[in-house]
Amino acid sequence: MYVYADNAAATKLSEKAKTAMLPYFDELYANPSAIHSAGQKIKDDINHSRETVAAAIGAEQAGEITFTSGGTESDNQAIMSAAALGAEKGKKHIVSTDFEHHAVLHTLNKLKKQGFEITLARPDRNGIVSAETIAALIRDDTALVSVMYANNEIGTIQPIGEIGAICRERGVLFHTDAVQAAGHISIDVKRDNVDLLSLSGHKFHGPKGAGVLYARKGIALSRLMEGGGQEKSRRPGTENVPAIIGLAAALEESVSNMERESEYLTTLRNRIIAGLTKIEGSVMNGSEKQRLPGNINISFEGTDGESLVLLLYHIGITVSNGSACTSVSTQPSHVLRSIGVPKEYIRGTLRITLSRYNTAEQADYIVESVTKIVHYLRSFSPTWKEKILEDKERAV
Amino acid sequence: MLYNHTITDHFLHPQNIGALNDADGIGEVGSISCGEVVRIFIKINDGVIIKTGFEVFGGAAAIAGASVLTELVKGKTTDEALHLADSGKLDTLLDGLPPSRLKSAVFVCEALQAAIKNYYDNNGIVYDLFEFALGCSMCDGCGDEFV
């Protein structure tokens, strides 16, 4: 049986998105900036996609949507723009969290070297950063608060509406990296008082290479690159038309099926969690309630995540041991460290992320296979044997 | 795939896996904090290694490396085995580890050296301490929570 359950890394392109994209490769290929009607037709189609995206996230107008190359570019541009706006007013302090994606953390680190002061809030043991925690860190010179909508490893959903309300009240710009949340849980930039938001096509059955930066009307974006006047001069370079069309189609589809799909995935997720937490020496990471419908993150004492992932792949199950963006590193994940996963567990972590294409039969196969492989790895794990010995001694 | 065919093959089908109950020497390197522990067991007859075993808490590089090295030293004298316990040689035998996983080869080699040293100590055999790695030679931060 082949099971793909690494959907937080990338999802399968939906049929709807694929069908929508195909004409833009070899039929509708004119340059959208051209003044002839072939080009203007493409421009209209991009703007139609812009309206679709605006509606999906509750934006006031389509003009607030800028198409980018993906979540990383959107995060970079959002943060650099807010920093530039803050610096103009002498505000050079930014609040964010310890467990953001590296697209945010590394951008903040760059700003730090440019003289900004960065304060990172630490999530609690459940993987939640409370609005009170953020409120306490905001100062008079705070230019920006950036808190992810949902964490990419442990899937915990942050209180974005509450944080947004506080930022609005205190007059601070608020950015949220919604890459993992978009298309999976309800997002409404007006309801949540969000000023800047990033999302990425390939996380909700759209294509790779397209992302969105939402910037509330009136927030001037700084360019990351110089070039032509595309995207109202906010993002030069010929538009990735097929990917933009596919992103909008996939987002529209995901949002319209959200309720049903969320229910389906939550059932499937809980079935796997129930099965895997039966294994001795296992621990779930992150809140079970404030959690993305398809995310399971669980650690098994005495095992190694890389070995788990590779052995599972060998029997047809594709999962991960954390973020794909940091897979070469041998360091334990900064996310798991930030929520204080004990060192006995932290190395043996699996991230299983589901999509609409997974079935109950696959869920059971995952539970059965992970159980088998955890036992296999422990059969020759010196640290697990020591733990068993210590437990026995304690019992005596 | 992060690993080449040789490593993948040994990882999926490891030789000599598991503890030896009648080991004459046991060597262990690593810790939970540094994310890898390698334990090697050797059985000696007339100064020759006749049986080996290993346990690993760690990734594919450590498991494959321990499989290759414990297979290689069977039938060798302890002196010969000490010369083979070299992470550069082991890396070559594995057709090249990813640079981020070279540490695992060092752990495997040092665990074998520790097992031989343990056998010498148990049997009152005199040796030159400088023949042995003095533990986790590539690591400079065992005091840290994570290394």
In chain B, what are the domain boundaries?
Answer: 5-131
DSSP string for residues in A113-153? HTT-EEEEEPP-TTS---HHHHHHH--TTEEEEE--SB-TT
pLDDT for residue B132: 83
Whole-number pLDDT of residue B144: 45
- HSE (side-chain half, CA atoms, 13 Å) at A375: 10
Residues 6+ apart with CB under 8 A from B145: A343, B33
Q: Got the DSSP string for B57-122?
A: ES-HHHHHHHHHHHHHTTTSBHHHHHHH--HHHHHHHTT---GGGHHHHHHHHHHHHHHHHHHHHH
Tokens read off for A226: 């110089």
All domains of chain A in start order, with CATH: 3-9+258-395 (3.90.1150.10), 15-256 (3.40.640.10)
Pick the residue from chain A with its C-alpha nearest to B19. A380
Class of domain B5-131: alpha beta
- Nearest CB to A382; choose among B37, B60, B100: B37
A325 counts as catalytic: yes
pLDDT tens-digit profile of B16-38?
A: 999 999 999 999 999 998 889 99
* Phi-psi group of A183: left, alpha or beta (phi > 0 → left; psi -120 to 50 → alpha; rest → beta): left
Mutation target for A interface from B13, B52, B57, B106: give the one with most A CBs within 10 A. B57
**pLDDT score for A180:** 98
Is the separation of the CB atoms in B37 and B57 below 8 Å?
yes
- Tell me the two tokens of residue A373: 């492989």
Interface of B with A (CB under 8 A): 2-3, 8, 11-12, 17-19, 28, 32-33, 35-37, 39, 54-60, 63, 98, 100-101, 103, 145-146
Closest chain A residue by Cα to residue B1: A310
- The pLDDT tens digits of the residues spanning A125-143 come to 999 999 999 999 999 999 9
Give the CA angle between residues A167, A171, A177 to the nearest 5°.
Answer: 40
Confidence of residue B135 (pLDDT cuts 50, 70, 90): low
pLDDT at B133: 73
Is the predicted pLDDT of residue B145 greater than 90, yes or no? no
Coil, helix or strand at residue A64 = helix
pLDDT beneath 50: ranges in chain A: none
User: pTM surpassing 0.90?
Assistant: yes
Q: What is the ipTM of this complex?
A: 0.91
- pLDDT tens for each residue of B73-119: 999 999 999 999 999 999 999 999 999 899 999 999 999 999 999 99
Nearby residues of A97 by Cβ (< 8 Å), 6 or more positions away: A120, A121, A122, A123, A129, A146, A147, A148, A338
As a whole number of angstroms, the distance between CA B124 and CA B113 comes to 16
- Do residues A215 and A196 touch, judged by C-beta distance below 8 A? yes
Q: Which residues contact A204 (CB under 8 A, 6 or more apart)?
A: A11, A182, A183, A184, A250, A251, A254
